[in-house]
Amino acid sequence: MSMIQPLPPYLVQRFHGWHATGYQANRSWYRRLAEDGQRPRAMVISCCDSRVHVTSIFGADSGEFFIHRNIANLVPPFTPDGEQHGTSAAIEYAVTTLHVAQLIVMGHTNCGGVDACHEMCSGHAPDLEASTSFVGRWMDILRPGYERVKDLPAERQIPALEEQAVAISLENLMTFPFVSAAVESDQMTLHGLLHDIGTGGLRQYDGERFTAV
């Protein structure tokens, strides 16, 4: 394919810089990770958003977190219909093959996907309702959340929908038989978090509300 381009020079430079420092300082661990395979303690489901860095805020080393990132950190309901479900595949692999001990869903404020969902569900984004809109169909997962927040005062709806993106994903997770089995047998714990981009704050979900950690 002739349209593939070489890496821009500034990224080449930065890579070589990392290799000479971060990699060298930790090279025995990287080598062991390659030889023995990964054994992450947790799976994190977070958003693709460029402002969300779960490894930074938790000071995570290589090998600690198995991370799936999609638009708005959503988990669809269990649907074993033989079709391609990337999120479900990641969860299945983490729980049944890697046996992670924690499964964390981390949402965030100022989420473009949540905004788009609110626009769509409130009737202001007809484009997203087209069957050909990948973003629209993906955000359908959060429609039940919109039903729960639509009667709140206008300025409260988006923040509440950001919370719902975590709550509904946790609810959907429990529809996966291998997830509920692992949780019920204490093989794995579930956690819900909401990260504030501007203040850097972190709130956690207890099944009813979000409070600062």
Annotated binding site for Zn(2+): 47, 49, 108, 111
**Identity of the residue, 157 or 204, whose beta carbon is nearer to a second copy in the bound complex:** 204
**Identity of the residue, 149 or 167, whose beta carbon is nearer to a second copy in the bound complex:** 167
Q: Total residues contacting a second copy (rule CB under 8 A)?
A: 126
Are 41 and 70 in contact by the 8 Å Cβ rule? The answer is no
Question: Annotated binding site: which residue ranges?
Answer: 47, 49, 108, 111
β-strand partners of 43: 66, 103
Spatial distance between the Cα atoms of 142 and 170, rounded to a whole number of angstroms: 12
Q: How far is the CB of 154 from a second copy (least distance, A)?
A: 20
Structure tokens at 169: 């994903």
Helix 154-173, helix 112-121: angle, nearest 10: 110
Write out the DSSP string of 137-201. Answer: HHHGGGHHHHHHHTTS-HHHHHHHHHHHHHHHHHHHHTTSHHHHHHHHTTS-EEEEEEE-TTT--
Q: How far is the CB of 24 from a second copy (least distance, A)?
A: 7
Q: How far is the CB of 147 from a second copy (least distance, A)?
A: 18
Q: Parallel, antiparallel, or unpaired: how do β-strands 210-212 and 189-195 relate?
A: unpaired
**Identity of the residue, 153 or 211, whose beta carbon is nearer to a second copy in the bound complex:** 211
Selected range binding a second copy among 64-72, 118-126, 144-152, 154-162, rule: CB under 8 A = 64-72
Selected range binding a second copy among 117-125, 148-156, 157-165, 190-198, rule: CB under 8 A = 190-198
**Residues in contact with a second copy, shown as a per-residue x/- string from 122 to 161 under the rule CB under 8 A:** ---------xxxxx-xxxxx--------------------
Determine if 39 is a binding residue for a second copy (CB under 8 A): yes
Which residue do the tokens 């060298």 mark? 24
